Amino acid sequence: MSVDPNAAGRPPRFQPTEHLASEAVAAFVDGELRMNAYLRAAQHLSICPECAAEIDAQQQARIALRRAAEVAIPRSLHDSLSRIPLADLPGSAPEPQRRNEAFLGFITDSFTATRWTTWRRK
């Protein structure tokens, strides 16, 4: 099935000789592709052993992750982490609000947004 790139004045979106991107491989295995994309990928997989091998590897990895046991931390580590007071963590104390700076920041942001939208409309 050959598609003439000049047929509609633009190149085709997908050619059967292109390989599947890693994101497409993962989406194919996870069943997240739309029907048209799935059918194009399935057609490509029927003629491309490289991509078919990538699909197989992705499926094996997915199966292995689903079979893996839940990760557990040692009780002593959990207890140590639980004893850390939240107030001593950096950035946990709320900063006092500075009304003038926040107010001026709002005006500056609004002014910038107004300038951008005015420029965009021209």
For residue 52, with 0-12 CB atoms within 10 Å meaning exposed, 13-18 middle and 19 or more buried, which class applies?
A: middle
Q: How far apart are CA 44 and CA 21, in angstroms?
A: 12
**pTM of full prediction above 0.85:** no
Q: Residue 9 domain-assigned? A: no
Write out pLDDT tens, residues 32-47: 999 999 999 999 999 9
Q: Is the pLDDT of residue 117 over 50?
A: no
Write out pLDDT tens, residues 66-104: 888 887 889 999 888 888 876 566 665 555 555 545 444
Number of domains in the chain: 1
Integer CA distances (angstroms), 46 to 2, 57, 78, 96, 114, in order: 16, 16, 50, 63, 54
* Two tokens, residue 103: 């107010």
Domain residue limits at 60: 21-70
Write out pLDDT tens, residues 48-62: 999 999 999 999 999
Q: How far apart are CA 48 and CA 78, in angstroms?
A: 49
How far separated are the first and last CA of the chain, in Å rounded?
Answer: 46
Q: How far apart are CA 92 and CA 33, in angstroms?
A: 42
Q: Residue 34 domain-assigned? A: yes
Phi and psi (nearest 5°) for 63? -65, -45
Q: Is the pLDDT of residue 27 over 70?
A: yes
